[in-house]
Chains A and B, each alone.
Chain A
Amino acid sequence: MNIVVCVKQVPDTATERKLRSDDKTLDRDAADGVINELCEYAVEEALRLKEANGGEVTVLTMGPDKATDTIRKALAMGADKAVHLVDPALHGSDALSTSYALAQTLKKIGFDLVILGSESTDARTGMLAAMLAERLGVPQLTLANKVEVGKGEITVQRVTDYGFDKVAATLPAVISVVEKINEPRYPSFKGIMAAKKKPVQTFGIADAEIDAALVGLAGAWSEVADFAAAPPRAAGAVVKDEGDGGVKAADFLTSKKFI
């Protein structure tokens, strides 16, 4: 089975994240780039499916040069090879452009199963897997907290508001996985060394037949008009519990008409 796992580099959530004042895109230099945590679950699920069913795991990343760190991390976990879609024309792409660029690349490299994390911690749109399925014309089995692959078939448990749906489809398909579907492995020393020798193919937009007019800031379907730092929340009263902390909290709730 040919599994492609889409992995994104994001700014570390623990550092301050900013938008650039010039073109209003994410300032990727201001923050350390790390693998999007939810993508680690996707890589782990890909490796488990490969271990159970055989096949090969390819990492696909769209991002600037420095995203190679993230690719190495996924390779060190055990993925076999990688494709890095990198091109200045892609800078500033929105979710629609990104899904278009990734779909074009996926058509080139081929797949039986595409796995994504349920969202990225920076953009948080949660739409990419659905958009990819739409563009590729294959079934969408997203928000999975359990995945089973049989002969040419796939079943997942899709997390819903009320519990979950069991969803079935035939391959090829696009899936996304949620946090806690598995326990992502730490790369071993051997894995880290091996990752250095694994093939990473670089794609520019021409290689994936991506129309430059449909990507980047100019190709975006939406724009940031303006932005500002959120006004800090005014810190309210803090009382020390002297045996009446609950009563005081109740007084506050009463004053705000919650009781």
Chain B
Amino acid sequence: MAEILVLVEQIDGDVKKVTLELLTLARTLGEPSAVWAGPGYSDTAKARLAEFGAAKVYVADSADIADYVVAPKAELLASLVAAKSPAAVLLAATAEGKEVAGRLAVKTDSGVITDAVGVGEGFVADQSIFGGGINVHSRVTKGTPIIAVRPNSTAPVAEAGAAVEEKVEVALSDAARGARVVERVKQEKGARPELTEAAIVVSGGRGVGSGENFAIIEKLADSLGAAVGASRAATDAGWYPHAFQVGQTGKTVSPQLYIAAGISGAIQHRAGMQTSKTIVVINKDPEAPIFEIADFGVVGDLHQVVPQLTEEIAKRK
């Protein structure tokens, strides 16, 4: 069966959910080989990759790979593309995943597609562009298809794989050691899932009214095990950090459930959340355009509705 390389995303040695999604998708296209780039490969990681069907795991665990920005991962993948001639390479369409994909495409003289929401036969990718207004099928026409897939596009399904480990040594070029990570700063996010990976996102906009009031958005999020997002009006006002902005110039999210409270639904906001599976809206203005894409809407004051919803959820659990 055709070999499909899947670049593993991990944090502190834990395999991220998006990688399990990619492995699941790769199984529909061929036989997935996971590529572990950087230190921290462990039995737990191996077990996780095996559980989701990795036939092989290429492990390149030299510290250098993590100590320089992006380029080493592209070099590692390029060497594997040359040595193994895979049918395709799948990466997560995260900010960094896309950068790795871009460099890999240049190195291997291959076409690249970003932000795919699905990949079918012949490696034809589905994309949703211009804020969700147009659906596109695209494909790579030269080289090895390199496809960056949006998190939450595929539901991860377990299916055992052998996860046979193969060590890979990469001799990094000087060019790949250009930008050195001198310090990593982890900002405390509490127990909430990461915004782009979360199955549920609760976002607040200008209607929330202040930074302090975001506490009610956070409480609702926590009652559902959700991530918190914000509109640009809210991040512009300094009520919530920019890292949590959803939309055209913020993060793109595609969760199972998106709850928008006090957000009008400007096209630029919709660009970041339109592919969410289910959308629930709380807004006091029945004319707000966000209602046009809502599966369920409440016209009302979010300061009443949101806390009541949080309470109800607590009761029903």
Contact = CB atoms under 8 A, between A and B. Distances in A.
Contacts of A130: 70, 98-100, 102-103
A173 B69 CA distance: 13
Contact of A238 (B70, B297, B304): B297
Interface residues of B, number: 98
B235 A180 contact: yes
25 contacts: A13-B267, A17-B133, A17-B134, A18-B130, A96-B111, A127-B105, A129-B99, A131-B106, A133-B103, A134-B103, A138-B175, A141-B69, A143-B95, A162-B11, A179-B250, A222-B112, A222-B140, A222-B141, A227-B136, A236-B296, A236-B297, A245-B309, A246-B298, A248-B298, A258-B256
A163 B185 contact: yes
CB-CB nearest 4 A-B residue pairs: A246-B308, A241-B300, A139-B178, A127-B102
Interface stretch (A45-53, A77-85, A164-172): A164-172
B98 A126 contact: yes
B70 A250 contact: no
B94 A220 contact: no
Interface of B: 11, 69-71, 74, 94-96, 98-103, 105-107, 109-115, 124, 128-143, 175, 178-187, 189, 194, 196, 200, 224, 235, 242-243, 245, 248-250, 256-257, 267-268, 271, 274, 278-280, 282, 286, 291-301, 304-313, 316-317
A158 interface: yes
Nearest to B187: A163
Contacts, number: 280
Contact of A237 (B96, B129, B178, B296): B296
A197 interface: no
A202 to B, nearest CB: 27
Contacts of B282: 245, 249
A165 B175 contact: no
B298 A239 contact: yes
- How would you classify the secondary structure of chain A's contact residues: helix, strand, loop or mixed? mixed
Given A13-B267, A222-B141, A249-B305, A96 B112 contact: yes
A68 interface: no
Q: Size band of the A side of the interface?
A: 35 or more
A254 interface: yes
Contacts of A236: 294-297
Contact of B268 (A13, A99, A157, A229): A13
Given A134-B102, A173-B179, 15 more contacts: A13-B248, A13-B268, A17-B134, A118-B95, A126-B95, A127-B105, A141-B69, A161-B94, A167-B69, A179-B245, A220-B111, A222-B140, A225-B137, A229-B133, A258-B200
A213 B134 CA distance: 29
Nearest to B196: A161
B106 A135 contact: yes
Nearest to B300: A241
Interface in A229-259: 229-230, 233, 235-241, 243-250, 252-254, 256, 258-259
Contacts of B185: 157, 163-166
Interface in A68-117: 94-96, 99
Contact of B312 (A229, A235, A243, A250): A250
A134 B115 contact: no
A246 B311 contact: yes
B135 A235 contact: no
B136 A249 contact: no
A9 interface: no
A131 B280 contact: no
Nearest to A122: B130
Contacts of B106: 96, 99, 131, 134-135
Contacts of B307: 246
Interface of A: 13-14, 16-19, 37-38, 94-96, 99, 118, 121-122, 124-131, 133-135, 137-143, 145, 155, 157-169, 173, 178-180, 220-230, 233, 235-241, 243-250, 252-254, 256, 258-259
A170 B187 CA distance: 27
Contacts of B267: 13-14
Nearest to B184: A165
A157 B71 CA distance: 17
Contacts of A235: 291-294
Q: Which of A143, A179, A246, A247 has the most CB of B within 10 A?
A: A246
A245 B99 contact: no
Contact of B112 (A95, A159, A240): A95
Q: Which of B99, B114, B128 has the most CB of A within 10 A?
A: B99
Q: Which of B100, B130, B189 has the most CB of A within 10 A?
A: B130
Nearest to B225: A258
A242 B225 CA distance: 27
Given A161-B94, A221-B112, A240-B300, A95 B308 contact: no
Nearest to B279: A233
A213 B140 CA distance: 17
Contacts of B70: 130, 140, 142
